[in-house]
Amino acid sequence: MTAELPTIALPGTGDRVPRIGQGTWRMEQDDRRDCIQTLRHGVDLGATLIDTAEMYGSGTVEEIVGEALDGIREEVFLTSKILPRNADREGTVEACERSLRRLDTDHLDLYLLHWPSSHPIEETMAGFRELLDEGLVRSVGVSNCSLEQFVAADEALGPDHDLVTDQVLYWLGSRNVENELLGGLREREVPLMAYSPLGQAEFPDEGTPPHDALSAIADDHGATIAQVMLAWVLRHEDVFTIPKTSSIDHLEENLAAAEIELRAEDLERLDEVYPATDSSRIPTL
């Protein structure tokens, strides 16, 4: 691929990140060397947003990412996430400090609450404020939160800071976020970060209507089914995404999806085989 990746602005930060970044969930199951090579190659190609979490491999994936970033940390927009069970005020700061040690860095560019916690949101946001004030994180957000939960967290964060994104499951087979969350974030000029944009590599079986539709659209665009699925997520200009791969070939395939612009008739055909839902419940994997 030769074209530069399109970018998206994060509110109130001055930062722009690529609309296709690199996810790392379950990367501990893959060959460590392949993971490191793929992450570094992605940065070379402009996929400088790397998302990880303390949960992934119980910290192992953060260590892999830290190794991959040796010598190139300043080129990367690095995101990690805190487990909800750790998310009282003191625990939030301590969890972040552990992540920083595993990642071998002195700061995170973005720190997210992984999903809603049993700890009061005021406690978590107090921890986030402390991390922001100390310079250990540059921006904060949430993950797997409904619009109501996002608004409550943003209010608890206080007037001096804003949440910059909500990272949620969004792919053709899971469209709940379209009913309330996406529009609500849009009104607040907050972009949505879509994880698992290919589901769990949930490509439809050959001979089924979803496969036939995706295959025909892919052929029309000289693309693959995976690229069409990614292009569908990116049809919204205020959405960016973090597909995970430890394969350089798949990485390059993913990034090339940024050049695909689906037509109205493509979207209509996909709506027929992957219909929207009435639910606004935020699903998780």
Residue 203, sorted as left (phi over 0), alpha (psi -120 to 50) or beta, turns out to be beta
pLDDT on residue 86: 98
Report how far residue 155's alpha carbon sits from residue 231's, in angstroms, rounded to the nearest whole number: 33
Both structure tokens of 149: 């939960």
pTM value?
Answer: 0.97
Q: What is the Cα Rg of the chain in Å?
A: 18
- At how many degrees (to 10) do helices 209-221 and 264-273 cross? 160
Q: What is the pLDDT along the chain (285 residues), one digit of tens a residue?
A: 447 999 999 999 999 999 999 999 999 999 999 999 999 999 999 999 999 999 999 999 999 999 999 999 999 999 999 999 999 999 999 999 999 999 999 999 999 999 999 999 999 999 999 999 999 999 999 999 999 999 999 999 999 999 999 999 999 999 999 999 999 999 999 999 999 999 988 899 999 999 999 999 999 999 999 999 999 999 999 999 999 999 999 999 999 999 999 999 999 999 999 999 999 999 887
Number of H helices, E strands in the chain: 10, 9
Dist. CA 42–CA 13, nearest whole Å = 23
Which one, of 93, 31, 24, 95, lies nearest residue 62 by Cα? 24
pLDDT (0 to 100) of residue 202: 85
Q: Are 285 and 196 in contact (CB under 8 A)?
A: yes
The pLDDT assigned to 284 comes to: 86
- List 56, 111, 195, 274, catalytic entry: 56
Structural domains in the chain, CATH included, are 11-204+237-258 (3.20.20.100)
**DSSP letter string over 90-115?**
HHHHHHHHHHHHHHT-S-BSEEEE-S
> Minimal CA–CA distance to 241: which of 179, 180, 174?
174
What amino acid occupies position 220? D
3-state secondary structure of 21: coil
Q: Is 195 a catalytic residue?
A: no
